[in-house]
Amino acid sequence: MKLNFVRKNNDLARLDGKRFRMDNIMTFLSFLILTTVVILPVVMIIYNTFWDGSKLDLEMFARVILREENLAAMKNTVIIGVIATLLATVIGVFFAWLLGRSDIPLKGLMRWLFSIPFMIPPFLAAMAWDMMFSGRGGYVNRLLMNVFSLADAPFNINTVGGIIVIEAVYYFPFVYMQVVSALQRMDPTLEESARISGAKQWYVIRKITLPLTIPAISSGTLLVLITSLSNYGIPAMLGYSKNIFTLPTMIVERVNRAGGDFQGIREATALSVVLVIVVAIALFVQRKLLKTGRYDIIKGKSMRPALIKLRAIKYPLLVVSIVFLIFVVLTPLVVIFLVSILRAYGLPFSIENFSLINYQKIFVNNKAVIDSIKNSLFLGFSAGIICLFLGVMLSYVIYKIRPKGGGILETLAVLPYSLPGTVMAIGCILAWSGIVFGITLYNTIWIILVAYIARYLSYTLKSCSASLQQVHYSLEEASRSCGASHMESLVDITIPLIKPAMVSSFFLVFLPAMRELTTSVLLYGPNSRTLGVQIQQLRINGYMTQAAALSVVAIIIIMVSDTVVKAITKDRKGI
C-alpha cells in the first residue's frame, strides 16, 4: 500500500510539469525548520557543557553537579517529584474510580471542578496558597490562630512538604483524566465473572480493575512526574523565600547570578543536562514498569460497566469529595480575588478594606502591565498560528508524503515536549545570542516566540495528524487527476477536511502560551515581559495586591479563551 501510494504521488507530480515537486519542498522545509528550532538549541547545550571553546572540559560539569547547593537542589527535585507524583496518583485514581464506577451523585459538578486546574497557571495557584498559609502572615493561618488562640501559625506552606502538597493537589486531575477513561471502556463481564465466582469487592478491584488500568495509571503518573520534575512556578513561589531550590529554580538562579557572564551560563547548561538526565530516567523507569506485565481491555459489544452501589457511605463520600475539591480548587481563586480588591496586603477581608484601586493601578498609566498583556496576546496568537501551519505541514509530510526519515521528523517535533522549559530556554539563549549565524534575538520578544514554537509544535502535530490520517489519499488523487495543482488540492480538498482539528490545535497552543512562565522567565527583556513574568515581578517587589489583580485578569482571559474554543468545537466533529 505504501509503495503504491508513493508511486501514485510521483505520477501525479509529473502532471504538474514541475521539476521541483511540492512534496520535496515541504520535506526540505520540515527538516530545515526542526533542525533550526529544535536541534540547534539542544546541540548548543551539550556543546557548551562539555567544551570550553578550545578543549573538552569535564571538570566544570563535575564541579557544578558536586557543589553542595546544587546537590541539595537535585535532592529536592527528586523528593518533590516522586512524593508529589505518588500522592497525585492516589488521589487521581480514587476520584476516577468514584466518578467512573460508583453511583455517587453530583458527578457533573465534580467534573467541572476537575477542569479548572487545567486553566489556571500553576504559579498562580501556588501564589494563592502562599497567601493562605505563609506562616503568621497567611490569611487562613491568622484565622485559625484567632479562633483557637494559637501562639504560632499551624501551617507553613513555604517548605518542601508544602511544595509537595500543592503539586499533588494541582496535578492529580492529570491522573484522573487518564484513568476514568480506561474505567469507562472496561468490559464489565470480567468483574461480574469474578463476583459470580465468589470474589469480594476489594479482591475484584485489586486483581482485575487495577491491573486493567495500569497502562492508564502509568501514563498519568508519568505526565505528573515529568511535569513536577520540570516545574518552575510552584517551587519558585513557595521556595525562594526560604532558599529552597529545585533544579529548574536553581538553573534560573544561576542565570540571574551570572549577570551576563558566560561562565555562569555554562554552569546553568550543566544543570540543564542533569535535569534532562533525571527526566530521561523517569521515562525509562515508566517503560520498564509497563513491560513487566501486559493487560488488555477486551473490546466487544458488552454493556456499559455496572456502577457500584456505595450504599451507606455514598453521602459521606460525597460531602468529603465536594469539600476537598472546593477547598483545593475554588478557595485559592477566591483568595486571589479578595486580595486583589484589598487596599493593602495584610488587611482583614472586610467591606471597608475593599476597593478597585489595584485594578486602576495596573491599567492606568502602567506601561509595564499593558505591555505584558499585549506581549502575551501577541505571543499566544503568533505561536498558535505558526505552530498550526507548521503542524499541518509536518503531519502532511510524515503521514502523506512519507519520505525517508519521516520517523526522525516526528521524533524531532515531539522532543521539546519531554524537555523542561528551562532547558529549552537555556538552549535558545545559547543558539540565538549571536554565536550561531551572527543572529541575535536575546532580550527580544522574538526569542520567546522561537522557544514557544519549539515547545508547543508537538501539540498541533498530534492534533492535525489524527485528522489527516483519516483523509483518504484517493480524494487528493482525484483532484490532481482533474488538473488541480498540488497546492490547489491541499487548499481545496485536504485543509477544509481537517479544519476542525486545526481550530482546536490553535487553542492548544494559545492557552498554554498565555499562562507560560517557565520558559519566558529566562528569556524576557526590558520590553518583552509576559503576563506570568509581570505577575512574578510584582510579587517579588512587594506589590501583592497588584499581582493578585493582574492574576485575576490573566485567569479571566484564559477562561474566556477556553469558553470560546469549546463553543467553536462543540458541534464540529471533523472527519
| The predicted structure's pLDDT at residue 472 | 67
Q: Which among 275, 67, 249 is positioned nearest to 163, based on CA atoms?
A: 249
| The predicted structure's pLDDT at residue 291 | 62
Distance CA 295, CA 445 (A): 48
Q: How far is CA 48 from its chain centroid?
A: 27
Question: Rg of the chain's alpha carbons, rounded to an integer?
Answer: 26
| The predicted structure's pLDDT at residue 574 | 44
**With contact defined as beta carbons under 8 Å apart, do 553 and 398 qualify?**
no
**With contact defined as beta carbons under 8 Å apart, do 65 and 205 qualify?**
no
| The predicted structure's pLDDT at residue 182 | 77
Sequential DSSP letters for 288-331: HHHHT-------SSPPPPPPBP-GGGHHHHHHHHHHHHIIIIIH
Give the DSSP letter of residue 349: S
| The predicted structure's pLDDT at residue 285 | 73
Task: Write phi, then psi, for 18 (nearest 5 degrees).
Answer: -115, 140
pTM over 0.95: no
Q: How far is CA 340 from its chain centroid?
A: 26
CA quadruple 341, 343, 349, 353: dihedral sign: negative
| The predicted structure's pLDDT at residue 15 | 46
| The predicted structure's pLDDT at residue 359 | 95
**Total residues found in the chain within this entry:** 575
Rounded to the nearest 10°, the torsion over CA 293, 299, 303, 309 is: 10
The residue to which cell 530521561 is assigned: 280
**With contact defined as beta carbons under 8 Å apart, do 381 and 510 qualify?**
yes
- The phi-psi region of residue 67 (left if phi > 0; otherwise alpha if psi is between -120 and 50; otherwise beta) is beta
Mean pLDDT (10-residue bins), the chain, 575 residues: 48 47 83 89 90 83 92 94 94 89 86 82 91 91 91 92 94 87 72 73 74 80 87 92 92 84 85 87 71 51 65 89 90 94 93 94 91 94 92 86 80 81 91 81 92 90 75 70 71 75 82 89 92 93 94 90 73 48
| The predicted structure's pLDDT at residue 120 | 83
